Structure 1
Amino acid sequence: MSPNEPSSREPVHLQLTTLEKQVGTITLLVLLQQFGDLYYTELSELGMNQQTIMRARKVLIDYGLLTTYDRKMGRTTRVYHSLTPKREKVARKLLEIEELL
C-alpha cells in the first residue's frame, strides 16, 4: 500500500451527494463492480461517453476509489480503469442499491 492510499478501515469522508452531483461517478463505480477492469471503448459500449468517463474518473481517483493502469495489447496500450482494492465495498453496496431499484 502506498503512503497516500487510505487503509481499508480509514473512512473516505465522502457523502453520496458528492457522487450524485458528479455525472457518471456512480455509473462508473457500478460498471466496474459488475464487469471488472474496463477500458474506454468498453465503457462507451456500456453507455458512457468520453467526457463523462473523464470527469467521473477524476472525481473517483481524487477520492481514492479508482485507479488506472496501462496494459499493452499487441501494438497498442490501453488505459484500464479499476476499483481500488480498499474501496470495492463502496461499489458493491452501490450495485446492491441499483439492483433493488
Structure 2
Amino acid sequence: MEKKSKNVTEWFNTEEASAIFASGDFYFPEMYSLKNFPKQEMLSQIHWWLMRNKVMCDNVVKRSRALGLKRVVVLAGANHRKYMQDIFKTMPNVKVRNINEVR
C-alpha cells in the first residue's frame, strides 16, 4: 500500500493499484514473446475486455444524458477502474473525479 494512503480503499483508487489490477488479468508484456504463449488468444481477450469497458462507459453516459443528470457516481470493480477512467476521460463533456479527489 502506498505510504500516503490512509487505508486499503484509498489505495485501491490510486494509480499504483490501478496499474497492478489492470495488468493482472492479461499477464505481463514480457510473457507474450515466450514460446508457446497463446499471444493471439490473449490479444483477443484484451480486445473484448476493452470493448466491454467501452460499452459500460457508453451506457452510463447515454442513460445519464437521457435522464438529464449532471452528476453521476460510477462504482466499478478494481479491474475496470483504469480502463473506464481512461475511456470516460476521452468522452466530450465528461469530467472524471476519483473518489480520492472528493473530500
Q: TM-score, normalised by structure 2?
A: 0.31
Q: Which has the higher helix share?
A: 2
Q: Which has the higher strand share?
A: 1
Q: TM-score, normalised by structure 1?
A: 0.32
